[in-house]
Structure 1
Amino acid sequence: LAFNQFLCSICLDVFTDPVSTPCGHNFCMNCIKTCWGDSQQCNCPLCKEKFTKRPELKVNTTLREVVEHFKKKSVLDKHEVLCDVCTGEKLIALKSCLDCGLTFCKIHLEPHTIAKHKKHNLINPVEHLEDYICQKHEKPLELFCRDDQMCVCQFCTEGDHKNHNTVPIEEECGQTKVRHFHTKLKVKILKVP
């Protein structure tokens, strides 16, 4: 199974109490309940299939067990990301900067506390930072194109995705924390054509 099959498409995190909708898509129990709110008429956030009656959701115990096994394995396989700037012995990175295209340890992150770099997009440290940056424009992927179902940068909306329905990534994933989305983005990313 691919890593992204363990991710809820609403929170973009590994499933917690996964449930299946009648159309066959899986979501975290809390995510889908929050998404539907108090509405009696609901639709699948992924395929948009409408359900005339609110589906009764039950935890998919098989998927939950597979996800738990995956979580345990990924903790064992996890290793720390190192600073790109350190010379000699590299220190453990604290943040990756989408604007600089580098990952920084505590010492090298200092310039990002001053005005010039304060507005840079910092995310939790990642190994493949290029997956978070538009390959065409070399800018952070901050928007989601609903027409093409892909992440795009601001410059993409002036070209290939002009007049498309684009929204901030955090709006698409139903959260206000874009930082959380970016930490999970590399498994969801679609490259710009």
Structure 2
Amino acid sequence: MASSSGPLNEELQCSICLDVFTDPVTTPCGHNFCRTCLNKCWTNTQTCFCPLCKEKFSRRPDLKINTTLREVVQHFKEKLNLGRSEVLCDICDGRKQKAVKSCLMCQSYYCETHLEPHHRVPSLKKHTLINAVENLEDYICQKHERPLELFFTDYRLPYENCN
């Protein structure tokens, strides 16, 4: 990821590892670092300080993920990877092809060739296909092991004395 250039990349870059932030945390002085990078800097040290401005902290600060920065970084990474599926087909033997779709029912990844039965076989046509994603488990209910679904309920209030 460090190879990508541009001003936005520099703003989203950890000054310790020089890569785009992973689990970004903010120090009390307001500087941002990857959680693991900062923890490594503070391992085996008596005094904790900001690696950027060198401000010393009286005690080791409790680090929490900077959720806003994490979301910006995630959006940036998604834009960089747009159209570049890193997911490989689960069915291919030998040299695996890039997956084009993920099936939420089968919980598998398919290249264009192996996706064909999902377009032809009646029972497979009912399956929910989405663009290939690396984190297929995010689309599956962990409790029910089924695709996430939206449900709408029409609530009507009972009215007394209505005809």
Q: TM-score, normalised by structure 2?
A: 0.45
Q: Higher relative CO (CA 8 A, sep ≥ 6), structure 1 or 2? A: 1
Largest Rg, 1 or 2 = 2
Q: TM-score, normalised by structure 1?
A: 0.38
